[in-house]
Amino acid sequence: MDEINFAVLGTGGIGRRTLEVSTYKDGLTPVAACDRHGVAVNHDGLDVEEILDATEGNIAGDGTGDTEDKRVTDGGAAVKQHGDGAGIVASAQGTSTETPIDEIIAESDEIDAVLLALPNLEHDFIPRIAERFAEAEFEGVLIDVLKRSRVIGMLDDREETLVESGITFVCGAGATPGLLTGAAALAAQSFVEVEEVEIWWGVGLKSGYEDNRGTVREDIAHLDGYDIETAREMDESEIEAVIEEHDGVLEFNDMEHADDVLLERAGICDAEDVTVGGILDIRKDEKPTTTTVRVTGRTFDGKRGTNTFQLDDATSMAANVNGPALGYLKSAVRRNRAGDYGVFGPAELMPGF
């Protein structure tokens, strides 16, 4: 396969680590990155180390989602002001702009794939970004790491627009959904009928907390008594109070997690047969529980069994998001070049099981 150039929208935890992991992969060249302060573009390849060094500490915003219109329409992930420049502008490669996403879109003729590493506190935020790329007649891959089931439907609503532009949109291509969705699709291959998929994750986020405040806020929305809207409106001290109340350990059961619709659309099982839960420990880096996918089904010869996939506790959330995201990105570029446009989930990029 030919070389792939890609851009990253958002330089929070996921964006930064994806740039970093890409340096370990063959054939993947990061050529653009932006946050809401600025943009860095170099079609010969960004100097990733310089960007990471210059923006160290320029971590994702406070997680409030910065609901000013300006943010939603013009910006990537929020970053804290730090050093001489804010966000990516602190890098020698960065230039300040009020319209960073438009600047990336203006360069997109020469970009094969764009990773949307943006918080999606408004359900249609990512879908609207996709629309803007489609309006500019971008022909290539858009890929996100979103979690919420309902966003997939919003992307489907825009499928015709995406197809007309020549966009292959891969949604939910991180850890879960993403790596674990793919694992479920693989584990299902022993069975002619899948009865149940149980995804159970553990995340220890002490040292990664600052980088992942947006993710933690999204997770809080899944706790009993909270939803996306209430979580978005909480201020930092309220978030901290919730964490304190749970002694830093948040357990989630039966989350709204896009694995369900992503497995259904790949024909693996019905969405209602998928359950997702997990435990997040914000005060330790050790995982509070082992991330496990269990797929239970019936074989062609009438047996019933459960296949299991487990991630080592030593693998961080970041490791399990960024490797798969880049893998799915490469796969999607192949599909895009073959003329497969529209909306895809990670399980649909697996062998045609």
Residues near a second copy (CB under 8 A) are 1, 17, 20-21, 24, 26, 179, 182-183, 186-187, 189-193, 267, 299-301, 303-316, 318-320, 322-324, 327-331, 333-334, 338-339, 346, 349-353
The terminus-to-terminus CA distance of the chain in angstroms comes to 23
Minimum CB distance to a second copy smaller for 242 or for 319: 319
SS (H, E, C) 290-352: CCEEEEEEECCCCCEEEEEEECCCCCCHHHHHHHHHHHHHHHHHHHHHCCCCEEECHHHHCCC
Among 223, 269, 257, residue whose Cα is nearest residue 152: 257
Q: For the CB of residue 328, give the shortest distance to a second copy in the complex, in Å.
A: 5
11 is in an annotated binding site: yes
Q: How far is the CB of 270 from a second copy (least distance, A)?
A: 15
Is 218 catalytic? The answer is yes
When the beta carbons of 253 and 299 are compared against a second copy, the nearer one is 299
CB of 12 to a second copy, least distance (A): 16
> Catalytic: 147?
yes
Token representation of residue 122:
């408004």
Task: Give the residue among 182, 152, 181 at the shortest CA–CA distance from 169.
Answer: 152
CA–CA separation, 65 and 217 (whole Å) = 10
Q: Is 13 annotated as a binding residue?
A: yes
Pick the catalytic residue from 147, 257, 287, 330: 147
The one catalytic residue in 3, 56, 80, 218 is 218
CB of 273 to a second copy, least distance (A): 17
CA gap 290, 288 in Å, rounded: 7
Looking at beta carbons only, is 41 or 295 nearer to a second copy? 295
Bridge partners of residue 297, in order along the sequence = 194, 305
**Residue with smaller CB distance to a second copy, 54 or 329:** 329
Cβ distance 36 to 69 under 8 Å?
A: no
The total number of residues shown for the chain amounts to 353
Residue with Cβ nearer a second copy (95 or 315):
315
Q: Are 168 and 340 in contact (CB under 8 A)?
A: yes
- Is residue 10 part of an annotated ligand binding site? yes
Peptide linkage before 346 cis (omega within 30 of 0): no
Residue with tokens 């439907």: 153
Catalytic residue among 222, 257, 287, 330: 222
**222 belongs to the catalytic site:** yes
Give the span between the Cα atoms of 82 and 56, in whole angstroms. 9
**247, burial (CB in 10 Å: exposed 0-12, middle 13-18, buried 19+):** exposed
Decide whether 134 or 187 has the Cβ nearer to a second copy: 187
Beta-bridge partner residues of 279:
202, 251
Angle, alpha carbons 308-313-315 (nearest 5°)? 100
- 214 labeled part of a ligand binding site: yes
- Residue 45 — φ and ψ, nearest 5°? 120, 130
At closest approach, how far in Å is the CB of 6 from a second copy?
Answer: 12
Min CB(43)–a second copy separation in Å: 22
Annotated binding site: which residue ranges? 10-14, 214-215
Annotated binding site for NAD(+): which residue ranges? 10-14, 214-215
Active site residues: 147, 218, 222
